Amino acid sequence: MIEEIAHYDTAGWAHDVAPDGNLVYVSDRQGGFAVFDRGRGWSSPRISAPVQDVISLAPNEGRPVLASRFEGLVLASADGKAAARLTLGEIANAAVTRGDLAFAAYGTNGLVIARIGARDLSLVARLPTPGWSHDVKLWGNRALLADWTYGTRVVDTSRPDRPAEIGVLATEATAICIAIRESADKTIAAVAEGHAGVSLVEFGAAGRPERISRQALGLRPADAPHPETGGWAHGVALCDDFMFVANWKRGLAVFDINDLKQPRLIAELPTAGTALGVKAEPAPDGTITVFLADGEEGLRVFTFRRPKRIEY
């Protein structure tokens, strides 16, 4: 059902992964970031290290915007050098881009919106949140924030200079990562919530989030984050009717979410590292390619073959 097809041990801890056409970007906590060209295989990436502690990044058409633990947002040039920085204190955890705007989950700064220039990053607005913003994803003119102990927050960004919160969904533990699946009739999100597992969320007409279901993964919400052993839902990806969870020291978990109210665990794959970030995309042959940032063990790439469903 799921088979590892490539493994590359990055210099430090692979923290997140961002496929972008033929290129695959991997953020590395100690080694900057690596860029793999799929046409050339997985053994010889281009490695750039303009800053330390790159937690996440947005490819941004070859000029990636990096979320750095200590240097904030960093705009990298096409040759991998640091072209500009926007440092606001605290930890920049995640970044996404749309046009000439970057949206960052920036710790206690909340949501930060910056304009991307040829060689500069300029602050447009920031929307403080009560928690510690850890991830951000875009859905139309809205931004979804994973705000640690304060849940998933929905922000209207139709006026980038005046972002406004329009909805909140609480968590039992820690909102860490968000994945979105859009279709003609329904947009859903999956939220990795640490020891609370993963929530599946839908949005009402006004964009307010409502929980459809939660898959607990056998975890206990009261347990402390960053455990030395065991699971802790840290990353999540959606592709078609499947959900992939980076489950800390327990590796990769796969769910069938054809029934959104009752996600069904169909596979667990232990890995040697710490599963932190995951992305998934359909492949031309009908399989799903899964990219796992496996912490100290680097990047792992899997092929997932969809199981046949039995109709009753």
Q: What is the pLDDT of residues 15-49, one digit of tens each?
A: 999 999 999 999 999 989 999 999 888 888 999 98
- The more confident residue out of 41 and 54 is 54
308 pLDDT above the threshold of 90: no
pTM: 0.97
Joined together, the tokens standing for residue 74 give 């960093």
Looking at the domain assignment, is residue 32 inside a domain?
A: yes
Total domains present in the chain: 1
Q: Is 305 inside a domain boundary?
A: no
Q: Assign residue 90 the CATH number of its domain.
A: 2.130.10.10
Residue 4 has pLDDT above 60, yes or no: yes
Check pLDDT > 50 for residue 312.
no
Q: Residue 273 domain-assigned?
A: no
Residue 113 lies in a domain: yes
Q: What is the pLDDT of residue 233?
A: 98
Mean pLDDT across the stretch 251-264? 97
Do residues 84 and 76 touch, judged by C-beta distance below 8 A?
Answer: no
Q: So what's the pLDDT on residue 239?
A: 97
Please tell me the distance from the alpha carbon of residue 300 to that of residue 107, in angstroms, as a whole number.
28
DSSP string across 152-202: EEEEE-SSTTS-EEEEEE--SS-B-EEEEEE-SS-EEEEEE-BTT-EEEEE
| Within-domain flag for 275 | no
The pLDDT of residue 14 is 97
pLDDT at 183: 79
Assess whether pLDDT exceeds 70 at residue 94.
yes
Return the percent helix, strand and coil in the chain, to nearest 5.
Answer: 0, 55, 45
CA distance 254 to 282: 15
Whether 255 is covered by a domain: the verdict is no
Domain extent for 90: 10-246
Q: What is the mean pLDDT of the segment spanning 219-238?
A: 97
Identify whether 158 is part of a domain: yes
Name which of 193, 191, 189 is nearest 174 in CA terms.
193
Could you tell me if residue 256 is inside a domain? Answer: no
Cross-strand pairs, 34: 26, 47
- Residue 62: helix, strand or coil by DSSP? helix
